[in-house]
Amino acid sequence: MKQTVKIFTCEKKLSNGRWSPEPEKIAAIATDADEEFPSLSTDGQTLYFSSKGLGGMGGYDIYKSVWDDNLQVWGKPVNMGSPVNSPYDDLFYLE
């Protein structure tokens, strides 16, 4: 089985200050390839990350996924395109 890098999430409960017991893969961005280098927008509503598994311009590309408040899930990733991405490995994006 091929080893890949994934992005997980967990939640800190405000009522007791504890973290959720099991980290979960973010379903919308889980592929058979690597997803790495996550960062959140300043408002916490957009997740930026790099992936080799969603197609793109070459190597790692940077994607964004927007939080859906109604469904309580991250939305389908969108490739940020040029000029953010290139034919090379594009790894980090900070808002």
- Model confidence pLDDT, tens digit, residues 62-85: 999 999 999 988 899 999 999 999
Rounded CA-CA distance 57/39 in Å is 21
Contact 34, 5 (CB under 8 A): yes
pTM exceeds 0.85: no
With left for phi above 0 and alpha for psi between -120 and 50, is residue 69 left, alpha or beta? Answer: alpha
18 pLDDT more than 70 = yes
Handedness of CA 62, 68, 72, 75 (dihedral sign): negative
Q: Is the peptide bond before 38 cis (omega within 30 degrees of 0)?
A: no
pLDDT of residue 2: 62
Q: What is the pLDDT of residues 30-63, one digit of tens each?
A: 777 788 898 999 998 999 999 988 888 888 999 9
